[in-house]
Structure 1
């Protein structure tokens, strides 16, 4: 209660913060280009523009097996925005000819470059706004977040997971797609200036050049990533997971449908655990469901029977043989010195990450770090070790700026770990 004659001072209520305005198209939505004649006109219009070209692609992830581009968006100063449907075109060579030698502005280039290369579009130089944001230490680097943070506008993302193989494409989807390239040039200017001011522009150039040549690495034993496979017991059940996964993948590729729409992972695990021997038992297996459960039941039963008769030596083991180091949690038991190296190096790289405001995984790819520390060069002469470690990381694909910053830390970790008392085993 307030003392007599005195009135409590209350803080005035905070004014609600108005949301940032929605990003809108500056010009009317262009028609979709889906003929060779239209592409030639578009290519001429892009050629008449100036400066870099913002480019994006939409795939039908979650719907189609392939990762092909179903829509390509381009925007260039003086040319405006263009929407290209590559599906019905005989070639995109006229567009590639125009883009040759021109900087591309992309967001998350590793996602779009493979599908663009598939239709003959390959950059000679690029600027990746997502990667620039990472190097600058932005905590969230999605396109919508960067647009709101740097430009003060909101970018709608409600159509990000739609089926872009749909024809005709609805107008709201096309507006969403066009907005993805609307402000990439402005983002590039702001992020480029920040990179230069922070002294990270050369790092960015090296990263962009590496991204330009990026090619996805095929996974070894991709079936091992089946969700729930850790619950499967025994080599024969693992063999059933492998056989069902590979059969599902073959069907999905033939139909160009994402595999999960044929048969979910949970159904594969359920069938592999139960190992039913006939169609009726299979379809009664608890957890076995999906659009292709009954439709392809004969094929599922066939592969399960093949696995049931397979010799033990042909069945997969729980832990696959690999050319890389073991998982970090096993290092302390397998090689305590290597475990100490890993702990020291991780701590040092983490500290440098905070100092430079660059994510640790961008300072050095975690796989490169683990490979070097599990099997480092034999020498312990600091200079010779540094030179050998630099060459080893270069072979793995580490860029010069990464090696310059991290090799001294890794050399110190290797030497310090060797000098630690034999009974000192830090957990990795």
Structure 2
């Protein structure tokens, strides 16, 4: 068995950089984080493979900055599987590609039924790729050899997979579409930080009173501060369900909180003073949150028939024509047009409603040129047909 050595010194990293530069063709890249174990989303292993150079496994916390490698590969194509999952943690250490090929996104555009790396590799290359360590705690040191083998295989097959997909995209006349999608991944802005991140608590919607929500808010922030300080995933300290249970019950004493059976988790008792202080802060707060969160979120489509029946008809009509286009081009609906874009246009359609105004609305929301070309006219036609149906004179009035 090949011994997969982890590069964890600056000198070894610089030597590896020179070797990678000496290779040929696109570069397979992957990163492993410790999601669910640590608070941070930093990379704990970065894997790189290039033909003619080999496979390199880097320890980012030990190496620090990777700008030399980034500068040396600035003009090359980097191959990822689901690049959007890795770009943020790679950029943290100075790795920021200018051109990418995303095999997961390509699989979607090709209409493959399953797009996980293992299934795509098996279907297109005929190679079984085990994925048993994908949810491992990659902050572990030293990393087990079996994990390193897994990490290496994740990148060693990417160039062959990319070459196969290039031919398939060309055969399906989707090369331009893929290029626009890959470029969009690189330029996509991060989601803005929520003004009320505590509302992401699972089950918080069950709290109906402002005081209970205030306690949930203070508990969430107390847990988040502790998780950040010790770099542990918040849910591993006290689960969401426990915070919501305490917010619902509103214990009046520290002992009552300690006796609350639903309040569990490894830090539920060792940090009891912290949680009790948060509850007291919530009970005393004069800044009570609204029962409903603020923002521009639309109501769920299932409620549209009652709240905005015209929008409901437009949405259903648009979904029907988009489903037809999806089948015609073998592109999943969610990749054809972002579902939220369709909902927003159906709720408040542009005026006048024609292909040009629909196209402009889609572009403003963030749609790519190929998406607009395939869908704008059909959506406009669907909206116009709905409008004519709504405004058609009834037989009684004719």
Partner of 1:8: none
Change (3 A) 1:422 1:331: farther
Alignment map for 1:4-19 (pairs within 5 Å): none
| Counterparts of 2:392 and 2:279, CA distance in 1 | 50
Give the SS at the match of 2:390. coil
- The answer as to whether partners of 1:270 and 1:286 remain within 8 angstroms in 2 is no
What 5-or-longer segments of structure 2 have no aligned partner? 394-398
Cα RMSD (Å): 1.6
Partner of 2:343: 370
Partner of 2:101: 127
> Is 1:156 aligned with 2:130?
yes
Partner of 2:328: 355
> Is 1:404 aligned with 2:373?
yes
| Counterparts of 2:371 and 2:360, CA distance in 1 | 12
Partner of 2:14: 40
| Counterparts of 1:178 and 1:74, CA distance in 2 | 8
Partner of 1:341: 314
| Counterparts of 1:130 and 1:154, CA distance in 2 | 17
1:122-156 C-alpha deviation (Å, 9 max, x unpaired): 01100000000000000100000011111111111
Give the SS at the match of 1:87. helix
- The answer as to whether partners of 2:217 and 2:282 remain within 8 angstroms in 1 is no
Partner of 1:395: 364
**Could you tell me how far 1:30 is from its partner in structure 2?**
3.6
> Is 1:269 aligned with 2:238?
no
Partner of 2:25: 51
What 5-or-longer segments of structure 1 have no aligned partner? 1-24
Partner of 1:251: 226
TM-score (norm 2): 0.95
- The answer as to whether partners of 1:52 and 1:105 remain within 8 angstroms in 2 is yes
1:56-76 C-alpha deviation (Å, 9 max, x unpaired): 000001110110000100000
Give the SS at the match of 1:293. coil
- The answer as to whether partners of 1:128 and 1:208 remain within 8 angstroms in 2 is yes
**Number of residues paired by the alignment?**
392
> Is 1:379 aligned with 2:352?
yes
**Could you tell me how far 1:422 is from its partner in structure 2?**
6.0
Worse-superposed segment, 114-123 or 347-356? 347-356
Change (3 A) 1:270 1:415: same
> Is 1:197 aligned with 2:171?
yes
Partner of 1:416: 385
Give the SS at the match of 1:179. helix
Worse-superposed segment, 148-157 or 41-50? 148-157
1:332-361 C-alpha deviation (Å, 9 max, x unpaired): 222211111001001111121112111101
1:232-263 C-alpha deviation (Å, 9 max, x unpaired): 23222122222211211111111111000111
| Counterparts of 1:95 and 1:402, CA distance in 2 | 35
Change (3 A) 1:364 1:49: same
TM-score (norm 1): 0.88
Partner of 2:69: 95
- The answer as to whether partners of 2:64 and 2:93 remain within 8 angstroms in 1 is no
